[in-house]
Amino acid sequence: MLSQAQTRFTVQTRGQGFTNISPQLKSWLADIATGEGQLTVFLRHTSASLTIQENADPDVLSDLRQSLQGLAPESASYRHSCEGPDDMPAHIKTMLTATSLSIPVQDGAMVLGIWQGVFLIEHRAQPHSRQIVLHYIGEQAGA
């Protein structure tokens, strides 16, 4: 029999960069005693995003941040500029990445590769409070 669970949590960012949210996801899955199913991770913002990326070498995240800055530089001329020079580039970076991820769950754990982690990417220069919604659908442990 399938069951569902949903929750929200907030992540405080420190400005542009990557925040590993894998521990919060793992903890919640354990708290609700999941078996096999699907976890949806949804970010309720348009100037930050989500990604699954390498969690071992921090140089990967630095290179990714630099590459995103090159794709949507703050120095470009944008029409939307009322929230500062980092806002429109943040929207572009969000469009290029994702605000929702779908992750399979098996035996109560996310089925990620050994070097994969789930990250919130803050695209704005200043710290922000970001809200994430989690939704699990699947079996409960031992069902």
Tokens 């098996």 found at: 106
* CATH architecture classification, 3-140: Sandwich (2.60)
Strand order in the sheet with 3-12: 3-12, 129-140, 34-43, 100-106, 109-110
Tell me the pLDDT tens digit for each residue of 79-135: 998 899 999 999 999 999 999 999 999 999 999 999 999 999 999 999 999 999 999
DSSP symbols for 49-76 = EEEEEESS-HHHHHHHHHHHHHHS-TTS
Question: How does the average pLDDT of the chain come out, rounded?
Answer: 96
Tell me the pLDDT tens digit for each residue of 49-68: 999 999 999 999 999 999 99
pLDDT at 87: 95
Cβ neighbours for 83, distance < 8 A, ≥ 6 positions apart:
none
Give residue limits of the domains in the chain.
3-140
Residue 1's pLDDT band (cuts 50, 70, 90): confident
